[in-house]
């Protein structure tokens, strides 16, 4: 699992694309408008249908909301709330915003449910393998280096005490594995607060659709085929008030002596994952949850990941490498969601 300062996923590691031009049902209605800009090292876009609010006002409010999220959770801004916490004294309760608390609660729940396959303190390992903000020559770390980094991580050393956080070890907390999904949820709240009932929000490939698209049907978006040098649609899904996040291992990696090392680091072993899962997509009413679960299930692999998905009732789609081709395995909840749509 990697959680760099640009959400776990920057432009090079995003697996899910909102191919709006080719996937969203066509329509040239003047009632449709698109807003957007830059955030978190990537792009954001919002498509609205029949907005009762001024588009200029919406743009300003959406931008302000994103600035606020960045000010809370950025690891690139030394003055952000999260970086102030990371630099605070170990063992001392540190007051934090409800934004930080909400994301830590989500992260902690997924960490516990996956026995540490998801861990927001994994930064030292990500940096060691060369996938963090501090780039280094691509090489395979020694076992001693890996063990030293493992000694500096551990979600169980991060504790919520009332409205404060405590680090019981010199951890570096990086919430970027959830931040983009959380920001999508925040923008959706801004739109609803302004009376917008039909919209599609996208930040760096994380998506949420509400109401009907311009053609009068639910928003349809693409899950990308996990191909390194191409942008191809693998599957189209409808977002009926749902969010969609995808985690994959096929764009951000390096090779040494013919061996491939992915940016997806398993916090339990300290090493990149080694299995046949190319990507995992998760549908969830909360994009923040979808974000975290997609990463966790990818780290777990298809067997352990599917067991967790079934236990938690997750809508998950695994795309697997199989002798030069791709095959899929879907959780029962995902299959039920698709069947329900097909019968409407």
97-115 confidence digits (pLDDT tens): 999 999 999 999 999 999 9
pLDDT digits (tens, 9 = 90+) for 242-287: 999 999 877 777 778 878 888 899 999 999 998 899 999 999 999 9
Q: How many domains does the chain have?
A: 1
178 domain-assigned = yes
- Does 211 fall in a domain? yes
Note whether residue 7 is domain-resident. Answer: no
Q: What CATH code is carried by the domain that includes residue 74?
A: 3.10.520.10
Averaged over 53-82, what is the pLDDT?
96
Show Cβ contacts of residue 302 under 8 Å, excluding neighbours closer than 6 positions: 275, 276, 277, 318, 320, 329
CA distance 97 to 163: 8
CB atoms within 10 A of CB 199: 25
Q: Which domain holds residue 243?
A: 20-342
Q: Are the beta carbons of 33 and 219 closer than 8 angstroms?
A: no
Q: What is the DSSP letter of 157?
A: G
Q: What is the pTM of this model?
A: 0.88
Kindly compute the dihedral angle of the four CA atoms of residues 51, 54, 55, 56, in this order, to the nearest 10 degrees: -170
Residue 286 vs residue 8, higher pLDDT: 286
Predicted confidence (pLDDT) at residue 21 exceeds the cutoff of 80: no
Closest to 224 measured CA to CA, from 210, 206, 239, 208: 206
The answer to whether position 3 is within a domain reads: no
What gap in Å lies between CA 58 and CA 191, rounded to an integer? 8
Residues 6 or more apart whose CB falls under 8 angstroms from that of 263 comprise 2, 13, 126, 129, 131, 249, 252, 253, 272
Question: Does a structural domain hold residue 6?
Answer: no
**Sheet of 199-203, strand order:** 32-39, 42-49, 199-203, 206-210, 243-248, 277-284, 315-322, 325-330
Residue whose entry in the numeric block shows the structure tokens 């590691």:
13
Count of other CB atoms within 10 angstroms of residue 323: 6
Where does the pLDDT of residue 37 fall: very low under 50, low under 70, confident under 90, or very high at 90 and above? very high
- Is residue 207 a part of any domain in this protein? yes
pLDDT at 339 over 70: yes
* C-beta neighbour count of 344 within 10 angstroms: 7
Whether the Cβ atoms of residue 203 and residue 196 lie closer than 8 Å to each other: no
318 close to 329: Cβ distance less than 8 angstroms: yes
Of the given ranges (187-191, 198-202, 253-257, 335-339), which has the lowest mean pLDDT?
253-257
For residue 336, being part of any structural domain is answered with yes
Give pLDDT, residue 34. 97
In a domain, residue 15? The reply is no
């Amino acid at each position: 699992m990697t959680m760099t300062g640009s959400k776990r996923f920057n432009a090079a590691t995003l697996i899910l694309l909102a191919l709006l031009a080719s996937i969203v049902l066509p329509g040239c209605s003047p009632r449709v408008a698109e807003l957007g800009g830059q955030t978190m090292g990537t792009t954001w876009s919002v498509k609205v249908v029949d907005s009762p609010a001024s588009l200029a006002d919406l743009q300003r409010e959406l931008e302000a909301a994103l600035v606020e999220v960045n000010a809370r959770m950025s690891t690139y801004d030394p003055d952000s709330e999260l970086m102030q916490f990371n630099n605070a004294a170990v063992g001392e309760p540190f007051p934090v915003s409800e934004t930080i608390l909400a994301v830590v609660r989500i992260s902690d729940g997924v960490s516990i449910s996956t026995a540490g396959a998801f861990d927001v303190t994994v930064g030292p390992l990500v940096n060691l393998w060369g996938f963090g903000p501090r780039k280094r020559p691509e090489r395979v770390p020694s076992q001693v280096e890996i063990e030293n980094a493992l000694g500096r991580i551990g979600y169980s050393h991060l504790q919520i005490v009332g409205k404060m956080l405590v680090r019981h070890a010199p951890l570096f907390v990086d919430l970027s594995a959830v931040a983009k999904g959380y920001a999508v949820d925040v923008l959706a709240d801004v739109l609803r607060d302004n009376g917008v009932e039909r919209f599609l929000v996208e930040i760096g490939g994380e998506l949420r659709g509400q109401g009907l698209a311009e053609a009068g049907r639910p928003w349809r978006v693409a899950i990308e085929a996990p191909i390194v040098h191409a942008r191809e649609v693998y599957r189209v899904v409808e977002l009926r008030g749902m969010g969609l996040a995808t985690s994959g291992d096929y764009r951000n990696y390096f090779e040494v002596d013919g061996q491939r090392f992915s940016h997806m680091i398993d916090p339990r072993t300290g090493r990149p994952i080694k299995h046949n899962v190319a990507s995992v997509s998760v549908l969830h009413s909360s994009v923040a949850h979808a974000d975290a679960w997609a990463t966790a299930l990818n780290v777990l692999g298809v067997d352990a990941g599917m067991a967790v998905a079934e236990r938690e009732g997750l809508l998950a789609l695994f795309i697997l490498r199989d002798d030069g081709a791709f095959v899929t395995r879907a959780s029962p909840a995902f299959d039920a969601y698709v069947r329900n749509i097909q019968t409407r």
